[in-house]
Amino acid sequence: MHLKLDISDEFYSKKRPYHPSDKLLVGAGPSNCSARVLYTLSHEPVLLPGDEVFKIMVEFREMLKFVFQTTNEATLAIQNSGTGGIEATLTNTVDPGEKIIVGVMGFWGKRVADIAKTRQLDVVEIVPQFGPVFTLNELETAIIKHKPVLLYVTHGESSMGTVQTLEGLGDICHKYNCLLAVDAVVTLGAIPLYVDRWGIDIAVSSTQKAARSIPGLAYLTFSPKAVERMKNRKTVPPFYYNMLELFKVWNCFGVRSIYHYTYNSNLLAASKEGIAEIIEEGLLETWQKHEELNKRLWDGLEKLGLKFYIKNPEYRLHAVTSVELPPSVSFESFNNFLIERYQIYISFGIGPTSGTCFRIGIMGYNATAKLVDYMLEKINEALKYCQGEKLMTTKLG
Ligand SMILES: Cc1ncc(COP(=O)(O)O)c(C=O)c1O
């Protein structure tokens, strides 16, 4: 048979090997990973179903329980980014028409509300009245008023760089028969997060920020009450996100099934190494380090004359910081300078910080004093360049 293409392959057939350069990823995520994590990613995948992947899962689940500080058996990783994790929690625990409250402090809280609406949940969005984060009192008042089945709050709102107090919130929720769900996408492995102690029923995190791996998995944990709710739901969740099936793949409750979908075994193994790095360093030590280094960054930025979007340091997140750019400096030229000169990638502002701030992430593998000092030096240089000082001996680019 004479075969002939209908569409020319002239474009596709040219050899274009992709050579990623060494980048410094110090925005709101993804962050850089260690050589150990990257090396683990570079192996051949493991054939599924099989004992090798199951062995990774068994160890990984125990490690995740530890970093979440929980004894929840329903603790696992699913294949998608943090957003998918949020969608999975909502679609598995709440039926369409049921009422939930979403605490909207910034871009990510709004996103939870938007995802919930696609599921036809009855969504009550509330915003903080007395500052950038919620007081427990105002959350309790909202629960009493609206009687939701679930309250969703963002622990670390990376659009602004705020941290929501969670201690005591679980008890409040449970008093009114409401589950507490928490977006911990940024906070796992960066700042204190006590799932059991704080009465969190559902927590979602991800691989690519402080958890020291690349994007692609969401880490989830569900309390026995959340699992009970899941079992009694009236509607079926999306097939890919069906937690009761995925619990079996992870042997959460002693009933094992060998397949729901093909996990990326490299990603599982590498992300497990990322979590192992946190455990080896010590969870308390890791939390302390993030606090010290982010404060070191704030001190340095203040000395450069920069101001923060969140004025009160008490509310600031020890992972991602929103920094106001002086009016004379455009984000574009500041960002271009850092990328073109040094391959440094920061993030632009989103939601409330859009157009006025840049965001810098000192977290995970990138949480080192050396890197903080390096960043302060380069930010200073970029500011001077953008403000027109003749620092440069050569033209950019
Ligand atoms: C607080 C928070 N929640 C959710 C997400 C969404 O995660 P992903 O981009 O991995 O889907 C992000 C990502 O930046 C985040 O910072």
Q: Please state the domain count of the chain.
A: 2
Residues 6+ apart with CB under 8 A from 133: 105, 157, 162, 163, 164, 165, 315
Check residue 391 and give its pLDDT.
52
Q: Which of 42-56, 234-248, 310-324 has the lowest mean pLDDT?
A: 42-56
CA-nearest of 166, 178, 161 to 124 is 178
Note the helical H segments in the chain: 10-13, 35-41, 51-68, 82-93, 107-118, 136-146, 169-175, 224-231, 243-249, 265-281, 283-303, 331-342, 369-386
Cα 209 to averaged position of ligand 1 atoms, centre (Å): 9
In a domain, 119, yes or no: yes
- 201 with 316, same domain: the answer is no
- 289 with 265, same domain: the answer is no
Average pLDDT over the chain, rounded to an integer: 95
The pTM (predicted TM-score) of the whole model is 0.95
- 249 with 347, same domain: the answer is no
Check residue 50 and give its pLDDT.
78
89, 117 Cβ separation under 8 angstroms: no
Gap between the Cα atoms of 203 and 377, Å rounded = 37
In a domain, 129, yes or no: yes
Mutate to test the pocket of ligand 1, among 83, 153, 163, 193 (most ligand atoms within 8 A of CB): 83
Mutate to test the pocket of ligand 1, among 90, 152, 206 (most ligand atoms within 8 A of CB): 206
Residues 322-345 have a mean pLDDT of: 96
Q: State both tokens at 186.
A: 């940024």
Residues 5-20 have a mean pLDDT of: 77
- 276 with 319, same domain: the answer is no
- 114 with 56, same domain: the answer is yes
Q: State both tokens at 222.
A: 């569900």
Q: Which atom of ligand 1 is nearest to the CA of 158?
A: 16
Which residue's alpha carbon is at the smallest distance from atom 7 of ligand 1? 82
Gap between the Cα atoms of 263 and 249, Å rounded = 10
Side chain identity at residue 260, one-letter code = H
What is the per-residue pLDDT across 74-127, written as a single tens digit (0 to 9) for each? 999 999 999 999 999 999 999 999 999 999 999 999 999 999 999 999 999 999
Strand 74-79, strand 99-103: pairing? unpaired
Q: What residues form the annotated binding site?
A: 359
- 65 with 196, same domain: the answer is yes
Instruction: CATH number of the domain at 246, please.
Output: 3.40.640.10
Q: What residues form the annotated binding site for substrate?
A: 359
Cα 44 to averaged position of ligand 1 atoms, centre (Å): 28
**Domain termination residue (choose one: 249, 280, 311):** 280
DSSP 28-45: SSPPP--HHHHHHHTSPP
- 250 with 292, same domain: the answer is no
Cα 259 to averaged position of ligand 1 atoms, centre (Å): 27
Check residue 7 and give its pLDDT.
87
Is the predicted pLDDT of residue 218 greater than 50, yes or no?
A: yes
In a domain, 13, yes or no: no
- 264 with 335, same domain: the answer is no
**Domain termination residue (choose one: 229, 253, 280):** 280
80, 105 Cβ separation under 8 angstroms: no
In a domain, 397, yes or no: no
- 301 with 376, same domain: the answer is yes
Gap between the Cα atoms of 135 and 75, Å rounded = 29
Q: State both tokens at 53.
A: 């992947």
- 77 with 202, same domain: the answer is yes
Helix count and strand count (H, E) for the chain: 13, 15
Tell me the residue range of the domain where 53 lies.
Answer: 36-280
Q: Which atom of ligand 1 is nearest to the CA of 207?
A: 10
In a domain, 394, yes or no: no
Gap between the Cα atoms of 45 and 282, Å rounded = 30
Residues whose beta carbon lies within 6 Å of some atom of ligand 1? 28-29, 81-83, 108, 154, 156, 158, 183, 185-186, 206, 215
Cα 293 to averaged position of ligand 1 atoms, centre (Å): 22
Q: State both tokens at 329.
A: 């400096």
In a domain, 396, yes or no: no
Check residue 231 and give its pLDDT.
97
Check residue 148 and give its pLDDT.
98
In a domain, 74, yes or no: yes
CA atoms within 13 A of residue 133's CA, in its CB half-sphere: 24
CA-nearest of 103, 87, 105, 358 to 218 is 87
- 76 with 106, same domain: the answer is yes
**Domain termination residue (choose one: 280, 300, 319):** 280
Cα 83 to averaged position of ligand 1 atoms, centre (Å): 6
Gap between the Cα atoms of 183 and 384, Å rounded = 37
Q: State both tokens at 341.
A: 């000169």
What is the per-residue pLDDT across 139-156, written as a single tens digit (0 to 9) for each? 999 999 999 999 999 999
Residues 6+ apart with CB under 8 A from 219: 64, 68, 75, 76, 77, 85, 188, 204, 205, 206, 207, 211
41, 266 Cβ separation under 8 angstroms: yes
What is the per-residue pLDDT across 334-357, written as a single tens digit (0 to 9) for each? 999 999 999 999 999 998 899 999
**Exposure of 63 by Cβ count < 10 A (0-12 exposed, 13-18 middle, 19+ buried)?**
middle
Mutate to test the pocket of ligand 1, among 26, 90, 102, 158 (most ligand atoms within 8 A of CB): 158
199, 170 Cβ separation under 8 angstroms: yes
351, 107 Cβ separation under 8 angstroms: yes
78, 218 Cβ separation under 8 angstroms: yes
- 269 with 293, same domain: the answer is no
Gap between the Cα atoms of 232 and 163, Å rounded = 33
Q: Which residue's entry shows tokens 């950038």?
A: 132
**Beta bridge mates, 181:** 152, 202
In a domain, 290, yes or no: yes
Cα 29 to averaged position of ligand 1 atoms, centre (Å): 8
